[in-house]
Structure 1
């Protein structure tokens, strides 16, 4: 009887830990904090997805395998290595702009278009 109860408590504790980790958001991204992630001057060998926002929006960025690269409140500018592809979900898509490589930034969508957007590297 004691072992099943201990197992149940362990599962409950693990679930609570997972929920608290998901609910904790990162502080807003600022240009100063993300400088080391910015592309150096000139062309980068690895294509980059650059997100920017002048106002705070919740953003989730994941790679083609579903691995989360960033999740939390976002404001400022931040670049991510594109790899095979990246997907972006913004709580306020009207506030977040995205660009791939040297392409001009484009708004993710109107305020009501909260959906995953997929970005892939441009063909050479």
Structure 2
């Protein structure tokens, strides 16, 4: 029987909705926050399915090096960069400049 990923995907979307404008996180940080360290690829699948969801800022989720690996899943390959730049994030050669300063870690930002 196939495992139902919809609950995991919804958990991912709840975290992504909390990423503030002008900040970005990576697939692994979301997986780690959700207690599924090592499932960064599954977070990526969730993000690939989220690009049509207006309330999920998928453009704020990149790979661990700050590279816009999900850009091909948007309406056009430049939209991800355009949305980040509209929030004041500098992108050079498909990579967020100073990603360590832009990085939003849900484990520390959402700590109770």
Which band: TM-score by shorter chain?
0.3 to 0.5
Select the structure that is richer in helix.
2
Higher RCO, 1 or 2 (CA under 8 Å, sep at least 6)? 2
Rg comparison, structure with higher value: 1
Superposition TM-score, scaled by structure 1 size: 0.31
Select the structure that is richer in strand.
1
